[in-house]
Structure 1
Amino acid sequence: MQLKDEQSLQAAKLYYESGMSQAEVAAEIGVSRPTVAKLLAYAKERGFVVIEVRDPREQGSSLTESLLDIYGSYGLANVRISQTTAKNPEAVTKELGRIGALVLEDLVEDGFLVGVSWGATMYAVAKALKHRSHTGVEIVQLKGGLSYTKRSTNDLETINRFCAAFDAFARTLPLPVIFDNVEVKQTVESDRHIASVLEMGRQTDVVVFTVGSVNPDSLPLNMGYLSDDEFELITGRAVGDACSRFFTATGEVAVPSVDERTVGISLEELSTRPTKLLVAGGLEKAQAIDTALKMGLATHLVIDNATASKLVEQHSLSNHPEAAS
């Protein structure tokens, strides 16, 4: 440990544990007050100090209860709501990732198979995970992740971060998520290694995933997998995707010919997993989240307050249409 590490720890303990002011800490350790401020910032950067705001609204609020009332009959049992006031999508995703990581850390036990998808939200969860000592945990990639374009899925880095957090072994799918034709996909899936990973995905104890909205700029639609005709079919029929399986507003497979070429856990298989953590937010995803919940794809939900409010409002209007007039 370097001298700066030791000084920053000393300053942090005096400031945070003993309640001294920065000026008092400076006098105690014989440095200037600006140096103390730098040492405290350094302690945060090094992970010696972790500041956590515990917002009780994330776990218990009228909004939480409303979501459980609406979706409880579909299997939803736990809701955590991000109370962020940020309008920036990246900031919303980062906060969803932070809460998603906290929920997942409590769900994973020794010996568990943990299924993980990829995407910006899953990457945010991965980056927010704190290390917890575990034995026998295996992280299973739920879908292929290679891209035919320059847009990165961060699938391998996401898996690696999950493994580091849970002392886990990785079971990966080094494949594109959608193949050009069914025959090639079936041939690849017959490989013993690939077949084993796919089967492990179907047997996972916990899955953590997100849902995407269907818009021309969304990642799953811009990875070089789809023809122009398929692109139009999906944007015309689908309201969202889970693990790159596109679904309609009624929860049906949107384009069967594309679904047949998709590598990874199916929507039906996903719904059978005992513990399903859905981490998703953003108003543009409201319909996709609503449909996924009604499909029974989540036992646990992490969502932002604005999107949660929209779901409750939409449910109220659908049950009381006269309120909209």
Structure 2
Amino acid sequence: MERTNGQKQPPLGKIARLYYEHGLTHQEIADLCGLSRIKVTRLLAEARRVGIVEITVHSDDHLFVGLESALADAYPLRQAWVGPAFEDGTRALNSLGAVAAECVATFLEDGTTVAVGLSGSVAAIPGHLRRPAARDLSFVPLTGSRGGVSRAGGSLELALAFAAAVDGHAYQLPAPLLARNPQAAQVWREDPAVQETLERAVSADVLIAGIGGTSVNAGLLVQSLSPAELDGIRERGAVGDLSGRFFDADGAAVPGEVDERLIGPSLRQLRAVPVRIGVARGASKRQALEVAMRQGLINVLVTDVTTAEELLASAGGSTP
């Protein structure tokens, strides 16, 4: 134990139990343990930070109801979910994941199949999911996997994480994200195991994916491309991607070698999934999000309040 003014500091768990289980005030704990009230406040905050204390709020109240309704009116959306905005990237991603987890939970019913796309934002969701009452849930990767060290935002890793969070089933797509060339990609697509998983993905009830931009670091896929490949995609009019499939300002697929090398459903097949949840935030994703919503690539949006206000302004609406 650390020492405070020459005295041993009580364990964090003891401080937390006195406050949360036994209802002592900060001052009562301070008097009991020989600490200052400010020190007790700091220790309680530390107990939450390291996971000794976990707080669950039992409420379905939305944080920005007016803004969500305005977005759903301004764009052809089934729903919009909006969370707070933070300048700190870690806090922003954590908050986005928490809001997205609430959104995803509303679509989980017995036997639901969820197709999961490549996305760093989507990777923040499983840690916030509560185990639902729904049973026999399945999670299917929308793309193959990138080589090298396993990454949390990969489709397979995400399918496994979602399945673990809700006691569901995860399927594998035994193929690379991008094949070496279009010919190799075709060989992969003809593999029976790959075909089976892709068929399961395109027949899913729900799709969850990030929306990538075309600037550097505006998505996991663009980080896998060479500068020449990225320049070529931009020249052909790409403004963003949905689970690796680049689209232009009209929401149409952007043809080219990158599209031919990707192992995953086509943009047309992605559109056929009934519930299509797009999770993204930030200025680098705004144009892609606007197009994805206007053109029906996604019909459910999860974002932060700053991005939501910018999207609403772009649609000619006013913040409620």
TM-score by length of 1: 0.81
Q: How far apart are the structure 2 equivalents of 1:58 and 1:269?
A: 33
If each structure's helix is expressed as a fraction of its own residues, which one has the higher value?
1
User: Which of 45, 55, 61 is the equivalent residue of 1:50?
Assistant: 55
> Partner of 2:217 in structure 1?
217
Please identify, of 236-245 and 271-280, the stretch whose mean Cα deviation from structure 2 is larger. Answer: 271-280
- DSSP-derived class of the 1:308 partner: helix
Aligned-residue offset at 1:302: 0.9
Unaligned runs of 5+ in 2: 1-10
Q: 1:313–1:259: structure 2 CA closer, same or farther, 3 Å change rule?
A: same
CA shift in 2, pair 1:188/1:215, >3 Å: same
Give the letter for the 1:81 counterpart: V
Task: Give the whole-Å Cα distance in 1 for the aligned partners of 2:46 and 2:221.
Answer: 39
Paired residue for 1:79?
80
Equivalence map 1:1-325=2 (5 Å): 8-9=16-17, 11-15=19-23, 20-25=24-29, 31-33=33-35, 38=43, 41-42=46-47, 45-46=50-51, 48-50=53-55, 52=57, 58-61=63-66, 63-72=67-76, 76-84=77-85, 86-132=86-132, 134-147=134-147, 152=151, 154-155=153-154, 156-218=156-218, 219-224=220-225, 228=228, 230-236=229-235, 237-316=237-316
1:199 aligned counterpart, secondary structure: helix
CA distance in 2, matches of 1:298, 1:44: 35
CA distance in 2, matches of 1:244, 1:266: 9
Q: How many residues align?
A: 301
CA contact (8 A) 2:64 2:83 kept: no
Who is 1:321 aligned against? none
Contact 2:119 2:243 in 1 (8 A): no
Partners in 2 of 1:182 and 1:26 — Cα distance? Answer: 68
Kindly provide the CA deviation profile for residues 235-263 of structure 1, in whole angstroms up to 9, marking residues without a partner as x: 23210000010111111112343222211
CA distance in 1: counterparts of 2:98 and 2:143, whole angstroms = 23
SS of residue in 2 equivalent to 1:239? strand
Query: Structure 2 CA distance, aligned partners of 1:215 and 1:169?
Result: 35
SS in 2 for 1:140: strand
> 2-side partners of 1:8 and 1:66: how far apart?
42
Q: Distance in 2 between matches of 1:47 and 1:277?
A: 33
User: Matches of 2:253 and 2:269 in 1, distance apart?
Assistant: 13
Please report how far the alpha carbon of residue 104 of structure 1 lies from its aligned counterpart in structure 2 after TM superposition.
1.0
Inter-partner Cα distance in structure 1 for 2:203 and 2:14: 47
Is the Cα–Cα contact under 8 Å of residues 241 and 247 in structure 1 kept in the other structure?
yes
Which shows bigger deviation, 251-260 or 47-56?
47-56
- Give the direction of change, closer, same or farther, for the CA distance of 1:51–1:179 in structure 2 (3 Å limit): same
Please give the secondary structure, in 2, of the residue aligned with 1:101: helix
The offset of 1:133, in angstroms, is 5.3
- SS at 2:80 equivalent: strand
Deviation at 1:222, TM superposition (A): 2.5
Offset at 1:54? 7.0
The match for 2:4 is none
**Code of the aligned partner of 1:184:** A
Deviation at 1:21, TM superposition (A): 0.9
Give TM-score scaled by structure 2 length.
Answer: 0.82
Equivalent pairs: percent with the same residue?
A: 26
Q: 1:118 to 1:33 in 2, by over 3 A?
A: farther
Q: Work out the CA distance in 2 between the residues paired with 1:287 and 1:151.
A: 30
Question: Would the aligned equivalents of 1:89 and 1:282 in 2 still touch at CA under 8 Å?
Answer: no
* Aligned equivalents of 1:47, 1:204: Cα separation in 2: 38
RMSD value, Cα: 3.0
